Structure 1
């Protein structure tokens, strides 16, 4: 990081905002945080911090969902992710920062438009093989960017599963990918002292954002706020893509 006088406050703001949105929606920490982090952090630092913070943010939610987990639905995604994460982490070590930033921007735009429009599609039959394939691609994306649950979230919706079933799938998969990514990143020696320092100074802002998001989740109109969050994600994607 260069020009720390400005970049540290931006880092802390992005960390707080990502945790706040995740507390409200149950996902999207990495999408929100990366929209600013990638301007002054390397793709490797960004992915590492998303993984570390994501384990904390999502881990709590999975613990709360532990009685709703269905191993029969989860295992294909976890199997695919086990193969995909090492591929993504390997790609990360030589990724071009600008291309990664633009790629994340496009992902933000595509996802936010999809979620806002919610096209009425006939549920896909899917199956274990298709689920494993999505798990693999999701693992590659998670290892490369730290964005661990986006593809599984979209796929769960296409399967036509109820909302509570979807959440009991994409959040455990995200935590699994975060854990695998952390192991692979550590094994490759990519966790630098500077990244550890950023994690430590960002942790209080992560906890504060999560607390506030969860606090407001039960008080605000969920549908209206969801649209606001998606609109902000879309704007962030445009900013990253140009």
Structure 2
């Protein structure tokens, strides 16, 4: 399959949908984009496509509140380990058989969505945060590098820190921004982020921002909880399709 065989209209709709999910729930753009793009191109190419829209939307989210500096000082060990793990893990995304990468991505989508549907009420005791933070960062980084998805286990860990609502949104923005930059560095280090991909990735910013704007409008009219449930069920179905494809 040609790396860029996905029609431009489907490419645009993918990022519009991914932005819409992020606008409603505050997260999910790389998860949706990787899942949908992964059905039409190699995972390494899909990961390159999401770099620019993910970076722009997550920087916007990071600086949307007053706690940026405080969160950076608190979470820098986790962020540093995300960078190290992602750059190293990107080798797997680039060099491993695309079918194996798709299967891994599918299983990860299923695991993430199943976890989020259950939503266990976890809390990290303050005395454990200092040594858990780098471990979570390193594991998140390796998974990000290998699959292009930033969510696990960083999202459950940040939720378990019991930050207030606005701080959590900013902390997720910080984690996703660092993951995006690290993924771009990892892909470039392994020769998987080419000049023409920068242009396509930049083009994806427009539908992503349009989707975010639309998602924010939708959020005011529907139950975010109900939307999230349908979104997570969709991720499970998408994950099953990706995981099963190499065997079909």
| Same-fold call, TM cutoff 0.5 | yes
After superposition, give the CA deviation of every residue in 1:180-204 in whole Å (9 maximum; x if it has no partner): 2223433444322442342244332
CA RMSD of superposed structures (Å): 2.4
Query: Which structure 2 residues correspond to residues 76-95 of structure 1 after superposition, within 5 A?
Result: 76-95=77-96
Query: Which structure 2 residues correspond to residues 36-47 of structure 1 after superposition, within 5 A?
Result: 36-47=36-47
**Are the aligned partners of 1:76 and 1:129 in contact in 2 as well (CA < 8 Å)?**
no
Aligned match for 1:170, one of 169, 172, 192: 172
After superposition, give the CA deviation of every residue in 1:151-180 in whole Å (9 maximum; x if it has no partner): 210122344444444333222011012122
Aligned match for 2:230, one of 215, 224, 228: 228
Identify the residue that residue 219 of structure 1 maps to in structure 2: 221
Q: Paired residues, what number?
A: 241
In structure 2, C-alpha distance between the alignment counterparts of 1:5 and 1:87, rounded to whole Å: 28
Secondary structure of the 1:64 match is coil
TM-score by length of 2: 0.86
TM-score by length of 1: 0.88
Identify the residue that residue 208 of structure 1 maps to in structure 2: 210
Q: Which runs of 5+ in 2 are unaligned?
A: none
Shift of 1:7: 3.1
Q: Which runs of 5+ in 1 are unaligned?
A: none
Query: Which structure 2 residues correspond to residues 94-133 of structure 1 after superposition, within 5 A?
Result: 94-121=95-122, 123-125=123-125, 126-133=128-135
In structure 2, C-alpha distance between the alignment counterparts of 1:3 and 1:113, rounded to whole Å: 30
In structure 1, C-alpha distance between the alignment counterparts of 2:192 and 2:20, rounded to whole Å: 28
